[in-house]
Structure 1
Amino acid sequence: MKLLDGLNWVQRSVIAQRNRSLLTIGGFAIGICAVTLLAAVGDSLRQFVLDEFTQFGSNIIAATPGKSDTLGITSILRTNRALTLEDSEALARLPGVEAVVPIVAGTALVKQQSLSRATDIMGVGAFANQAWKMQVASGQFLPDDDLARPRNFAVLGSKLAAALFPDSSAVGATVRIGSRRFRVVGVMAPKGQFVGMDLDEMAYIPAALALQLFNRDSLMEVDVVYRDGQSAEAMRERVKQRLIARHGSEDFTLISQDQMLSSLDNILRVVRLAGMAIGAISLLVGSVGIYTILTINLSERRAEVGLLRALGIHQTLLVKLFLGEALLMALIGGIIGLLVLAAAQAALWLALPQLPALFTFTSSSLGLGVSLLVGLIAGALPALHAAKLPPIEALRAE
């Protein structure tokens, strides 16, 4: 039998069993929707989280007080000497370092005349905006003052500035943060949220003043930003040796952005695979129904199988023809499932343009591949049974 004749036979067989074929195709369509959607959710989640962490740059090594054996997730504290402003100054003198950002964070009330806002306060250094790739919309960022004796200057996030100064410019005005008065020297451009924190609602003040405001004697973190072309491992070793020289032991934890992104990527890949596995399971469960339909279809076509066998058709060719039917229904069902998702995505994008893609080329290709594999598996046993039927026994079914 020629290939074209075989394809024509498969097509006519699928059309002849219209109702059962539609039911089988519907099962494949639902299954591929599940596989593709869950794979796409995993892809979107992974990309979203990685984008969130890379928006502040990737050449960053974060030093935190206390020794941790698991990248900061579970701290096992040993001799714990606090990180200080002097430590950040010492790290800034290392070769290859572009900027160092001492960090102290807390919450305080920000007031301007009769208006007030309880919000997050970030104590940082003068290079925080450059290190974290943040833009100043008006004015300037914190000046490069003496770290230990900075002036009472503040920079407001865009939403915070709009709330406290609805009818005037915030730059040059004074605000009260906690018990201290600060002069606003700049307003940040909108940045959005980062892991639940609204960066546009923050106020940025010098780290030394934040230590006093929150009654702390140590920094929460020191971010070391190194220049492009520098090795992350080499820079990490330099930072480590400098802090050991100052503290006398390794009583701190260093986390490079590359390490964090690698760990997150591995975790999110597992989440993505788990989502695809759930979708694949739903498709495999559906394959039981598909197998049942194909088996019933075979039982009703015993006479046709017997006639084909009596005419001398080879068993291998008969298996290929029945598998072709299963694969054709799987392909049609898969395409319908992807078209349904594409239509749903187009409708959602009209209402929510910022919504990530429901599926990507990778997830849709994977879903279609799984659909064809399930069609092949579900159709294999009925095809083998059809090929093994003795012609005389099959013809008796007429």
Structure 2
Amino acid sequence: MAFLDLLGFALGALRGHRLRTALSVTGVAIGITAVLALTALGEGARRYIVDEFATLGSNLVIVLPGKVETTGGMPFGGVTHDLTLEDHSALARLGRLARTAPIAVATETLRFQDLGRSVPILGTTAEYQEIRRLRLALGAFLPSGDPDRSGTEIVLGAKVARELFRGEHPLGQVVRAGPARFRVVGVLAPRGLSMLGFDLDEAAFIPVRTAMRLFNRTSLFRIVAEVRIFAEMDQAKADVLALLKDRHRAEDVTVYTQDAMLASFSAILRALTLSLAGIASVSLVVAGVGIMNVMLVSVTERRAEIGLLKALGAPAPRILLAFLAEAVILAALGGAAGLAAGAAGVGLLAFVYPEFPVAIPLWAVGAAVSLSFFVGVGFGVWPARRATQLDPVAALARR
């Protein structure tokens, strides 16, 4: 029995039971579609996180006051010293850091004429624009210079400017924040909601020294810095820790690097993606059971054909291959339909939500094709073996 004869034998059997064939193919297709869709969602979430980190800037080191650690007592440490502008000035002199920016944050009501809006106000310096890759729609960012300088400049997020000025030109206008008055020097370009930080469209920026006086603060919220060379991230982190430990006489700050946070998020999301793919694969097992049942029925209905083949001298391996070919064809058709449906579904999702970078990873395609093949072979072996074990005389006698 040549290969084409095997293929014709299998296809003829499948055509003879079109409804059972269609149901089996549909079962496999649903399983493959589920695997592709869920892995695409997981991969999309991972890419979204990576893109969000890219919008934060590159090669970032973030310094927070307080030591985050687990000890024998309470699972957190206290703040021994404030994180101050003097600390920021010392860090700015480190050779491995390209630029640094202090941040002080509080929520305050901004007022223009009879309109008011509660917004987060960030006190910072001109370097923050470069570190965070902020784009301006109008005007300029905060002026560069000594961070100890108090100024009355304010830069507004796009949404804040739109709601406060209602179509009026904001540049040069005076707004109030508590008892202080500020002159609008710039408006940020719309940026959208960031899941990893502030919604900068709803924020405002003022000089850091002015902010600390306005908020009655002595400690910074954090310091962000950009490392000159990515390969020196670990050394830069060590330099920051050593400098602040020397200044505070204690290791009382926490330093995060952007690549470490990104690696943690990526590892978590990859594990989640694999878990989703594993859950979706359960439906393929169900489809495999369906293929096995179809094949068992086929063996029962075609006992006479099997007996005739064996009587004519067809060896058991050939008969085994003939019935395995049916199972593999069912799985292959289901796999192809599942790939097409999965790709169409992911494409539709990308069209409806273009901001979410959903994509089917290549390994998921390979896994889906392999799974469909193993489903066909794995669940077709037992029925095919039953066919080879039939006695030809008994099979023909029960025709």
- Bin for the TM-score computed over the shorter chain: over 0.9
Q: Deviations over 1:130-184 (max 9, x none)?
A: 0011112221111124322320111111121122122222121111123321111
**1:259 match:** 260
**Within 2, Cα distance between the matches of 1:178 and 1:294?**
78
SS at 1:380's partner residue? helix
**1:19 match:** 19
Alpha-carbon offset, residue 345 of structure 1: 4.3
What does 1:277-288 correspond to in 2, within 5 Å? 277-288=278-289
Q: Deviations over 1:342-389 (max 9, x none)?
A: 344455555444454463444333223222222221112111222222
**Within 2, Cα distance between the matches of 1:325 and 1:280?**
22
What does 1:269-308 correspond to in 2, within 5 Å? 269-308=270-309
Alpha-carbon offset, residue 273 of structure 1: 0.7
* AA of the residue aligned to 1:97: L
Alpha-carbon offset, residue 216 of structure 1: 2.7
**Within 2, Cα distance between the matches of 1:166 and 1:75?**
48
Change (3 A) 1:12 1:188: same
Change (3 A) 1:117 1:315: same
**2:342 match:** 341
Question: Does the 8 Å CA contact 1:284/1:374 hold for their aligned counterparts?
Answer: yes
Change (3 A) 1:53 1:352: closer
**2:222 match:** 221
**Within 1, Cα distance between the matches of 2:222 and 2:184?**
25
Question: Does the 8 Å CA contact 1:96/1:230 hold for their aligned counterparts?
Answer: no
**Within 2, Cα distance between the matches of 1:294 and 1:206?**
76
Query: Would you say 1:130 and 2:130 are equivalent positions?
Result: yes
Alpha-carbon offset, residue 258 of structure 1: 1.0
SS at 2:56's partner residue? coil
**Within 2, Cα distance between the matches of 1:94 and 1:75?**
31
What does 1:146-225 correspond to in 2, within 5 Å? 146-195=146-195, 197-225=198-226
Question: Does the 8 Å CA contact 1:31/1:282 hold for their aligned counterparts?
Answer: yes
Alpha-carbon offset, residue 99 of structure 1: 0.9
The number of aligned residues is 395
Question: Does the 8 Å CA contact 2:37/2:346 hold for their aligned counterparts?
Answer: no
What does 1:36-115 correspond to in 2, within 5 Å? 36-69=36-69, 76-78=76-78, 80-115=80-115
Q: Deviations over 1:89-113 (max 9, x none)?
A: 1000000211111122232211111
Change (3 A) 1:167 1:384: same
Q: Deviations over 1:42-97 (max 9, x none)?
A: 11111111211222223011111111138xxx962056222111111100000021
* AA of the residue aligned to 2:236: M
Question: Does the 8 Å CA contact 1:98/1:226 hold for their aligned counterparts?
Answer: yes
Length-normalised TM-score, structure 2: 0.92
* AA of the residue aligned to 1:17: H
Alpha-carbon offset, residue 11 of structure 1: 2.2
- Which moved further from structure 2: 331-340 or 348-357? 348-357
Question: Does the 8 Å CA contact 1:67/1:75 hold for their aligned counterparts?
Answer: no
**1:328 match:** 329
Alpha-carbon offset, residue 4 of structure 1: 2.7
Query: Would you say 1:313 and 2:314 are equivalent positions?
Result: yes
Q: Deviations over 1:272-324 (max 9, x none)?
A: 11110110112213322332222222221222222222222222222222222
Question: Does the 8 Å CA contact 1:66/1:80 hold for their aligned counterparts?
Answer: yes
* AA of the residue aligned to 1:120: P
- Which moved further from structure 2: 268-277 or 114-123? 114-123
What value does the CA root-mean-square deviation take over the aligned residues? 2.1
Q: Which runs of 5+ in 1 are unaligned?
A: none
Q: Alignment identity in percent?
A: 38
* AA of the residue aligned to 1:139: G
- Which moved further from structure 2: 385-394 or 135-144? 385-394
Change (3 A) 1:339 1:79: closer
